[in-house]
Amino acid sequence: MASLNKVLLIGNLTRPPELRYTPSGTAVADLRLAVNRNYTTQGGEKREEATFLTVVVWSKQAESCGEYLDKGSQVFVEGRLQTRDWEGKDGQKRTVTEVVAERVQFMSRGKGTPAAAVSSAPAFAGDEVPAAADDDVPF
């Protein structure tokens, strides 16, 4: 049986990207993305709701995000969902679901960049985005 894990999102950053490096020197950036949905209730009232997601970007594209994006920047993200489990410092099991970016395209100006400066290269040069080692998890 076939399966598909693909996410396409357009949203705005709620804060500047958090760029860091793994012990092996690979760049990784966390983007906090707000994606809005407009809908009409059964009573005819128009409403808007926001969903907040963490997007993980790897390698050179992570560095580009850190350099050119800022709070409020609009981006198009193509990626996949990933769930990770770990044990917190308090001994409690934690779980997070996040989007691992395969491609991030800049859709608005940020940090003095011309609007035409977009990044659409793969998020990681290899076939597979590297899994974060326990030492790489920032919690």
Q: What does the pLDDT look like over 50-92, one tens digit per residue?
A: 999 999 999 999 999 999 999 999 999 999 999 999 898 999 9
Local structure of 114: helix, strand or coil: coil
For residues 71 and 133, the answer to whether their CB atoms sit within 8 Å is no
Region for 25 from its dihedrals, namely left if φ exceeds 0, alpha if ψ lies in -120 to 50, beta otherwise: left
Residue predicted with more confidence, 113 or 47: 47
Instruction: Let me know if 104 is exposed, middle or buried by CB neighbors in 10 A (0-12, 13-18, 19+).
Output: buried
Average pLDDT, the chain: 85
Q: Does domain 7-38+47-127 have CATH number 2.30.110.10?
A: no
pTM for this prediction: 0.75
Give the model's confidence band at 29: pLDDT under 50 very low, under 70 low, under 90 confident, else very high: very high
> Above pLDDT 90, what percent of the chain?
74
Per-residue pLDDT, averaged over 115-128, amounts to 43
The DSSP code for 72 is T
* Alpha-carbon dihedral 54, 56, 61, 63, rounded to 10 degrees: 80
- How high is the pLDDT of residue 111? 62
For the chain, domain boundaries = 7-38+47-127
